[in-house]
Amino acid sequence: MKGVLEFLARRYIAGVGAEDAVSVARALNGSGILATIDNLGENVRTEEEAGASVREYTGLLDLIKSSGVNSTVSLKLTHLGLDISSLLARDNAGRIIKAASSLDNFVRIDMEGSAYTERTMEIFLHLRSRYPNVGIAIQSSLRRSAGDVRLLIERGASVRLVKGAYKEPPEIAFPRKPDVDRNFEILMKELLLKGKSPAIATHDERLLNEAIRFVNENNIPKGRFEFQMLLGIKRTLQKRLALEGYRVRVYIPYGPNWLPYSVRRLRERKENLFFVVKNIFD
């Protein structure tokens, strides 16, 4: 398994250092594609580890600025100490967001498993009341997400809409893929009509085509939203959409923790492995 993951990682993970991620972002920018960089990590257990994550992100933001690449950053609150306390994670995230603001950059808070959803929303809403340069991800697989999207639209927050990669119980999440896709489409259209700078994060070409049809039908300018995809997935499609004038942003993960992170994601849902493998020849 490790050998397989190391082979796949060369395409789907930028490398172990921030310089690797910035180099990948620069190449994507050359094709008219924007970037968001994520330092891989989650579920830190000590305040020292959480502090190290903050330093990594502030250093990354400085590197993005000095290199001139067009990239935001993405982060997980458990990487900043959420398992230790909500206050610690909130304060650490605030330090990163404040640093990003001083550099005219933007931070996206990723959504993790459902055990963290409510606390992530609470922390985000607190931070959003202080900093305009922060957004959040919402998973269409969760039953609660329609209410969360309505609230976030009311608050003028930027939402990245994803399907969700975590295995969840049926009382919390839709167990059938068609239901997840249907909810994605409903929330996608609501965000495109009413949301602030929404990010439609999917590789599903049916949903992407429906988004394009919908924005054309409703005269929604291309600059009011963006499509987001993962590094190494549907690369031909990414370039085509960018050439057609759409804002396309690619999620670039990096860091020494790529192996344990990848193993956990693949163990959680077998669909995650199938998804990666079936796109390897694009």
The residues annotated with a catalytic role in the active site are 110, 160
Provide the CA 149 distance to its chain's centre, in angstroms: 16
3-state secondary structure 146-174: HHHHHHHHHCCCCEEEECCCCCCCCCCEC
Nearby residues of 155 by Cβ (< 8 Å), 6 or more positions away: 125, 128
Residue 166: Cβ within 10 Å count: 20
Report which of 267, 269, 249, 270 is spatially closest to residue 259, judged by C-alpha positions.
267
- Total residue length of the chain: 282
Beta bridge partner(s), residue 173: 142
Report which of 232, 175, 165, 194 is spatially closest to residue 10, judged by C-alpha positions.
232
36 dihedral zone (left: phi>0; alpha: psi -120 to 50; beta):
beta
